[in-house]
Every structure is written in structure tokens, then in C-alpha cells.
Amino acid sequence: MHPVLRTVLQRLALGVLTLFIVSIIIFASVQMLPGDFAEAVLGQAATTETVAAFRRELGLDQPPVIRYFDWIGALAQGDLGTSFSGRAASGVDRSREVAELVGPRLMNTLFLASMTAIIAVPLALFLGITAALKRNSFYDKAVSTSTLTTISFPEFFVAYILILLLGTLWPVFPSLADVSREMPFWDRVYTTALPALTLTLVIVAHMMRMTRAAIINLLASPYIEMARLKGEPPARVILRHALPNAWAPIAAVIAFNLAYLVVGVVVVEVVFVYPGIGQLMVDAVSSRDIPVVQACALIFAATYILLNLIADIIGIVTNPRLLHPK
Amino acid sequence: MTDQTEGYSAAAEVGQFRTRRTWRQRAWIELKKAPPTAIFGLIVIAGYIFVALFAPLLAPYGEAEVFPQSYAPWSAEHPLGTDQIGRDILTRLIYGARNTIGLAFLTTLLAFFIGVSLGLIAAINRSWLDQVISRGVDVLMAIPSLIFALMLLSIFGSSALSLILIIAVLDSTRVFRLTRSVAVGVAVMDYVEAATLRGEGLGWVMRREILPNIMPPLVAEFGLRFCFVFLTIAALSFLGVGIQPPTADWGTMVRETANLIQFARFDLKAGLTPLLPAAAIALLTVAVNFVVDWFLHKTSGLRDEH
């Protein structure tokens, strides 16, 4: 088998294994709930029968291994379980399917994340590569210092500064990103401008610094010096010698930061009251709605693992040393 | 060093000159050479520590003292106004330094205790125990820590203790990785083997042989980890699942006064109020980052800039 293919398959297997273990951890979290949890959800007035029925629905009367496979099987068919909220002590069940809650919000979050990525990735790569090429110049120092400062800002600080400046003092964009499903595309872009801008500012700083470090690291390698010494023009050194080896670190940087976006999106969605999956998760945590928390955590973790996996695979596939084995 | 020398030795004389400087003098010399960003960072950190230690003396009112007027404007009586139930904002900012920084510091210490201990054990062991801990850490790191923290908080409920424990355990994974990777190189040194051969226990080898030799990267990591923990706690409090009221805390304060930002066009000061606690968080993290940056430049070539 080709070594590249073998390594890729190994990584894929490792990713599936990680996802499996993560799903066990997330599932096991329900086990750690205090024993009187059914009473806590249903309220003090719950009758013994309602509590027993609720416990049966959660499957608490069955061994954990069977419950895990029931859960993961249902999950594979898109059934994420039923939300805890909307249940009452009398046994009336007005709760909703988790999948129904999560679905549209996941779309909104993906919209916000992709909008951010489309702005942030080219910008950060451009800033990072130019700063690395003009290393120690005034431009490099200015960009590096300002990004070091923005890295230290919590997301909500950046968000509120933008709201203050662009939302209230000079009202250019709406400060509440209240999108609905029927909204036309450009209205949607306009409404989500501020959250996307916030995320862009946060993420560009990280991505730019990592790109710069990766490129500087690369330009210091002996074969680049060799190419320069034998008289190659600078453009050719960058394009023919540096770039093929730069794909792996750049892909890693992008994937790492898109994974970071997954986390940053939670806080930003809450600030702008954006109906996304991050806000859903925070609400579910406050009301201790475990099935929703589990579903959101699993989605976030899976995205995170997947992005890291893609970066790994791009790194392997583009690695010239692996492509041309001795 | 000096009492063992016999006769004249140039090295000893040079050594003497070096030892004559006390650590205070050496620190002063280093400080004079420090870049302005690092000096700025040190001054800011010192200011925060001072405010955190002497909060009850500096604050004009009590931490949870409620005044009749809620959302009061900035005035002589309440320099930064009051919040949604009429608590003095300046007072809560000052107490917030104590609570937020104290909690983050404790959490970082705990994370380092767990991470460094496990990292050293793994580096010395290098067999099944190392494999077990490392693979466990790999899995923990596969879940974004804010998401994991949110999930665990929904299970154990939000209290200061669960917050400290959860974040400390999640962050100790990063400390573990760093400690293990630098300690592996030191653990195979001859002096470590000598210590093991003369019968020193695991605790001695960890504390007295390996730990002193991996200190610089750990100190830098402590600063960065502190920033990260501090920002995580602030984010969780901002989301309403971190530090619970009535304890004054910067993340919670931003959340509670966020509505005021809509009135910025009529009263700019009111619009600035929610930004103050957020700026307090940002300033401290910037300061710590500047100092850590300087420290990294000084101690090693960990960063590309020299």
C-alpha cells in the first residue's frame, strides 16, 4: 500500500476511535447525575408513577452498556432524544424533540461560522505571510503587537466595543443579530455583520500569529537557504521551494483556528442574541436540560475532531517527503 | 562555592564577582534592560495585586450593599454609577479583582499541581503508566474545553468549588503535555539515574532532580495558563454559569450591565459602564502576556524572535 494512503487510513481510524471515546464520555455524564434528578426535573409535586415513568424513559432501569448502544443507535438515525424542558409533575408532556430544537440553530451557527471564515482566513494568511516575509520591519512589529493585544481581549469585550461604536454611537449595523428563516440572503448577511466581525477580529489575531511563526520557521530551513544561495529569484524560492512544504503548517493553522471558532461562537452568540447552537447550549446548561447539552456537546466535539483530522490529512497528503518515498 | 577553593583560581574569582550581587540587584539590572511593554505589564500586575489585597480598604461601600437608585448615573456619590439592583459599580469592580483573580490563581495552581505531577510521573515511568495517562489526556483534549466545562457544570451545578475543580482538571491536560515533553529529556540524564541508584524515592527525583531543570518553560506556561483560565472563568461567568451572585465578579458584571450600552447616544458614560469590567479583564491579560513574552525572550529561544 502507498505510504500516504496507509497514514491517512491510520489517522481516520484514530479519529473514529477518538469520537467513539468522546461519545462514551458525553454519555457517561448522565450517569453522574444525582439520584433524585427525576424529581428535580419534574418538580416537587411529581407522583411516584410519573417519576418511575420518567426514569424508565431515560432507561435508568437498564444496564449502562445497553443504554449506551440504544443512545448511539438512535443518534445514528438522527434521533437525539427528547428535551427535559416542558415536562410537568402531572405527567403532561409538552417537551420537544432535541433534533427539532438543534436543527435550525445548527444551520444558523454554520452560516455565522462560514461567513467569518470567508473573511478571516484570507485576511489572516495575507497578514501572516507578509509579516513573516518582512520580518522585523515596522509593519511586522505593528501587526504583531496589535494582534498580541487583541488575543488577550475576551470575546465579549471586542463584541461590546463594536456594539458601542457601530451599533449605538454610529448605528451602521443592528446590535442584535436576530435572524429568522425567511430572511433574504443579503439581509441575513447585514444582520450577522457584527457577530461575524467580532469573531473575525478574535480569530485573525490567532491565525496571523501562527501563520507568521510557521512561515518564519520554514524560511529558516537549510534548503531555503540553499535555494537562495544557488541564485533562484525570490518569487521562485517562495512558490517552488517554500510553498509545497508550507501547506501542512498553514492547513494546521486554519483548522486549529476554525476549531477555535467553534468555541468562540458560544460567547458571541450570547452577546448578540443570535439564535445559534451555542446559545441553545448555554440556555440548556442553565436549565440543566441534559439531552440538549449532550447533543450540543457532541456536535461541537465532533466538529472539533473533524477539523483537526482534516488538517492532519492535508498535512500528510501535501507532504513532499511522503509523496516521493525512497 | 567560595569556602571550598584552595589557592588561586580564575574561575573562583569570576564566580565571586557574580555571587556578590544579591538577587535584588540582579533583578534590578534585568528590569533596567526590560522593554517598555514588559515594564508596563509589571506595573499593571502589581496594581491589580494591590487592589485585590486591599479591596476592603479601597472600596467606598460594601460588596453587596444595595442603594435605592438602580442604574444611577456617574456622580460624586457613586463615581461609576450603580447596577441593576443599585449596587455601587466601583465597589464591585474593586471586589471583583479579589474574587476573579483569586479564583483564577487558585485554579491555575491546582491545574499545575495535577499537570506537573502527572507529567513528571509519566516522564519517569515511560511505560504503561505513561501510555495510560497520555492517551487519556489526548481524549480530554479532543473536546474543546469551554464546551466540556459547560457540560460538566450542567451536571454538577454552578458553584465556586465545581468551577475550580472542573477548569483545573481540564487545563491540567495542557500542563501535562508540556511538562512531559520537557521532562522526558531531563529524566534520562545521568544525574537523575545517579539519584535513582543511590536510592532516592520518586518524590525526591521529581522535586529535586527534574523539576528545577524544567522551571523556565513551566513559569512561562504558568503565565499563559493563568490568562487562559482567567478568560475561561470570565466567559463562563458572563454566560451566567460561572461565579454566582452576589459575589462580585467581572464577567457577571458585564452581563448584568450590558443593557446600558443602548443608552450610549444619550449618556456616553452610561454606555461605557459595561465595558469597564471587560476592560479590566483585558488589561490584566495583556499585561501578563507582555511579561510572559519578555520572559520567554530572556530564558530561551522558545519563540522565533530573539
Q: What is the CATH number of domain A101-286?
A: 1.10.3720.10
Average pLDDT on A216-235 reads 86
Q: What is the mean pLDDT of residues A40-58?
A: 69
Q: State the alpha helices, DSSP H only, in A36-97.
A: 37-42, 48-58, 64-76
Q: Is residue B14 part of a domain?
A: no
- Residue B105: per-residue pLDDT: 92
B246 domain residue, yes or no? yes
From A113's Cα to the closest Cα of chain B, the distance in A is 16
Measure Cα distances from A288 to A222, A283, B152, B174, B253 in Å: 56, 8, 10, 28, 23
CATH number (domain holding residue B117) = 1.10.3720.10
Extents of the domains making up chain A: 1-96+287-326, 101-286
Model confidence at B304, in pLDDT bands (50, 70, 90)?
Answer: very low
Q: In the prediction, which pLDDT does B82 show?
A: 78
The conformation of residue B73, written as its DSSP 8-state character, comes to P
Whether chain B has a CB inside 8 Å of the CB on A137: the answer is no
Per CB-CB distance under 8 Å, the chain B contacts of A281 are 147, 150
Any domain includes B130: yes
Please give the model's pTM, rounded to 2 decimal places: 0.82
- Dist. CA A66–CA B95, nearest whole Å: 50
Once rounded to an integer, what is the mean pLDDT over residues A162-191?
77
Average pLDDT of chain B to the nearest whole number: 82
- Evaluate whether A267 touches B232 at the Cβ level (below 8 Å): no
A 95-124 residues inside an 8 A Cβ radius of B: none
Given a cut of 90, whether residue A90 has pLDDT beyond it is no
Indicate whether B205 belongs to any domain. yes
Q: How far is A307 from chain B (nearest CA, A)?
A: 11
As for the ipTM of the complex, it is 0.78
Whether B305 has a pLDDT exceeding 50, the answer reads no
- Spatial contact of A177 and A272, defined as CB atoms under 8 Å apart: yes
Give A26's contacts in chain B (Cβ within 8 Å). Answer: 151
pLDDT, one tens digit per residue, over B212-232 is: 888 888 888 898 899 889 988
User: Is the distance from CB of A277 to CB of A292 less than 8 angstroms?
Assistant: no
Q: Which of A78-87, A139-148, B120-129, B192-201 has the lowest mean pLDDT?
A: A78-87
pLDDT score of B191 more than 80: yes
In this prediction, residue B300 carries a pLDDT of 57
Pick B155's closest partner by Cβ from A22, A32, A217: A32
Q: Which residues of A touch B231 (CB under 8 A)?
A: 154
- What is the tally of structural domains in chain B? 1
* B71 within some domain: no
- pLDDT score of B111: 94
CB contact under 8 A, A145 and B37: yes
- Do residue B151 and residue A151 have CB atoms under 8 angstroms apart? no
The mean pLDDT value for A59-76 works out to: 75
**Rounded Cα–Cα distance for residues B256 and A187 (Å):** 30
Window 242-281 of B, Cβ < 8 Å to A: 251, 254, 258, 261-265, 268, 271-272, 274-275, 278-279, 281
Residue A153, pLDDT score: 83
- Can you give the residue range of the structural domain that contains B94? 36-63+81-299
Q: Judge contact between A304 and A261, C-beta under 8 A.
A: no
